[in-house]
Amino acid sequence: MGFRGVGVLLQCYLMLAAAMFFDLGEQEGKCIIEEIPEDTLVTGYFLLEPWDMKSVTSSPHLGVTVTVRDPNHEVLMTKRYGKFGKLTFTAHASGQHYLCFQSNSTRFSVFAREKLKLHLDVQMGEHTIGHSTAKTKDNMALLESSLRHLLEQMMYIIRQQEYQREKEEVFRQISEETNSKVLWWAVVQTSILLSVGFCQMKRLKDFFIAKKLV
Amino acid sequence: MQRRWLNLDSRLFVFVFIMALLRSTGGRTGRLLVLALLFVGCLESVSSFGQSLDTEFTFLLPAGTSGCFYQTATKNGTMEVEYQVIAGAGMDVDFTILTPEGIQIVTESRRSDGVHVVEPTEAGDYEICFDNSFSRFSEKTVFFEIIIEGQGGDVGGDDEWAGLDEPDGSLLEYKLDDIRESMDSLHRRLERSRQMQTVLRAFEARDRNLLEDNLWRVSFWSCASVLVLLCVALTQVFTVRKLFDDRRRVCT
């Protein structure tokens, strides 16, 4: 890896350091739910660090296992990464996907219950806000890349809108179903009530007639 | 021919300069020095790129637990936090924001959604916590969004453009200015649209979960109701008959 690659990686590292992070206990897993429309490329950048930067004397081997589940809870992707990585997957079905992170760092036995910091940034769509876009001095190239970025933004918004429309349809369907179920059950209950009432009266009347009480 | 000088304050300029240096220097020590410069340049660029940050997550908060998320914020600028409970009986959660020192600046108890704008007075890691310990059985799905804006409102491409080389001809310069402005405003509006879309998506998810729960509840309780009805009817008939069966001291 040349110096240029190292420089780019360094920038990714530092950019992620400013991103949001949460705590991950040793051998603990945390899941993030993402609502993704179908055929969307999802890119996630993450960085794993020890919680207390000062108290770590030896540098432990940090690692994380990423499991991605699709809306049917089937595993879409499982992969082990080191402390810094980029994960990509394409969502084939639209719905709620579960991204689970579990730390599997070694050499932690010295520090019992050591916490880890996981910086995370998830982006959807191609041509994302590249953490590694090389900025050129060329006017036109910059203009072109900015325009392309804007186009991608718009495509993303349009696709999300389409997805929203689909979900709205499903919502409407469930709503209609609930409504008809309520009506149906009310009718059934009333009819059962009436028939049971008649049956009761009839049987008791027959019973009393048989017992010569009436 | 008008030539604009490169804006030496531009962070992009620093980065571009360093990349150019990297390409042109030879020799090991030269490259190491350049790499050191690059590191410094990165620190600068991070603060400018990191300002236009927009993070949104949906996560599951099990019953009786609390979960915290941390966000690094710089001194100037604003941080907007918006959260919504999408699923879970009761649909409410406790919400707190703590400064890097540990002082609670925002506390809300058992709310189902909220928006807060925090102006960070000190740089550091702000802690955003959701607490579900009051609920013993129901887990909550919470959606939250953090939008960080730089000093001058949305950080668009202002810094980016400053480091560009101007071509010849003042007419082209006018056109470029126009294009730049339109693109900046377009970018900002699209970002805003995307954020609104995210919020609306969360609302829809919450409503849909609620409706699915309602459907299940309607079906279940209707079945139960019918069963209870039938049981009661049978019991009534049986009891009345029993009243007259056992004892023979009914007078005729």
Q: Say what the ipTM of the complex is.
A: 0.71
pTM score above 0.90: no
- Residue-level pLDDT at B220: 93
Calculate how close chain A gets to B164, using CA atoms only, in Å.
6
CB-based contacts of A124, cutoff 8 Å, min separation 6 = A34, A36, A40, A41, A42, A43, A156
Picking from B226, B234, B243, B246 by the largest number of A CB atoms within 10 A of its own CB, the best residue to mutate is B226
In this prediction, residue A108 carries a pLDDT of 53
Nearest to B229 among A21, A171, A192 (CB): A192
Local confidence pLDDT in tens for the 252 residues of chain B = 333 333 333 333 344 444 445 455 445 555 555 444 444 444 433 333 333 578 888 999 989 989 889 888 888 888 899 999 988 888 899 999 999 888 999 999 999 889 999 888 888 889 999 999 998 888 899 999 998 876 554 444 445 555 555 555 667 767 878 888 888 899 889 988 988 898 898 998 899 888 888 889 989 999 999 999 999 989 988 888 888 776 555 555
Give chain A as a DSSP string.
--HHHHHHHHHHHHHHHTS-EEEEETT-EEEEEEEE-TTEEEEEEEEEEES-TTT--S-----EEEEEE-TTS-EEEEEEE-SEEEEEEEE-S-EEEEEEEEE--SS-TTSTT-EEEEEEEEEESSS-S-TTPPP-S-HHHHHHHHHHHHHHHHHHHHHHHHHHHHHHHHHHHHHHHHHHHHHHHHHHHHHHHHHHHHHHHHHHHHHHHHTT--
pLDDT at residue A119, rounded to an integer: 86
Cβ within 8 Å, pair A213-B250: yes
The reply to whether residue A200 touches residue B191, judged by beta carbons under 8 angstroms, is: no
Average pLDDT, chain A: 80
- CB contact at 8 A, B132 and B92: no
Q: Which residue has the tokens 């992009």?
A: B12
CB A178 to CB B218 under 8 A? yes
Q: How many helices (H) and strands (E) does chain B have?
A: 4, 8
Select from A13, A46, A137, A162 the residue whose CB has the most chain B CBs within 10 Å, as the one to mutate to test that interface: A137
The DSSP H or E segment spanning B60 is strand B54-61
CA distances from A119 to A16, A86, B53, B178, B246 (A): 6, 12, 13, 38, 78
* Rounded alpha-carbon distances, angstroms, from residue B64 to A172, A212, B131: 34, 65, 8
Joined together, the tokens standing for residue A47 give 């960085």
Closest residue in A to B245 (Cα–Cα): A211
Q: What is the mean pLDDT of residues A102-116?
A: 64
**Which residues of chain A lie closer than 8 angstroms to B195, CB-CB?**
none
Under the banding of pLDDT at 50, 70 and 90, the label for residue A200 is confident
Q: B1 or A135: which carries more pLDDT confidence?
A: A135
Check residue B166 and give its pLDDT: 55
Residue B17 CA to residue B37 CA, distance in Å, equals: 10
The count of C-alpha atoms lying within 13 angstroms of the C-alpha of B52, restricted to the half-sphere facing its C-beta, is 18
Interface of A with B in 80-99 (CB under 8 A): 96
**A207 interface with B at CB cutoff 8 Å:** yes
B43: its two tokens: 């620190």
Taking CB atoms and an 8 Å limit, are B233 and A150 in contact across chains? no
- A153 vs B42, B190, B218: nearest CB: B190
Q: B162, B105 in Cβ contact below 8 A?
A: no
Distance of alpha carbon B183 from alpha carbon A200, whole angstroms: 79
- A90 pLDDT above the threshold of 50: yes
The least confident of A52-56, A75-79, A101-105, A137-141 is: A52-56
Q: What is the pLDDT of residue B102?
A: 87
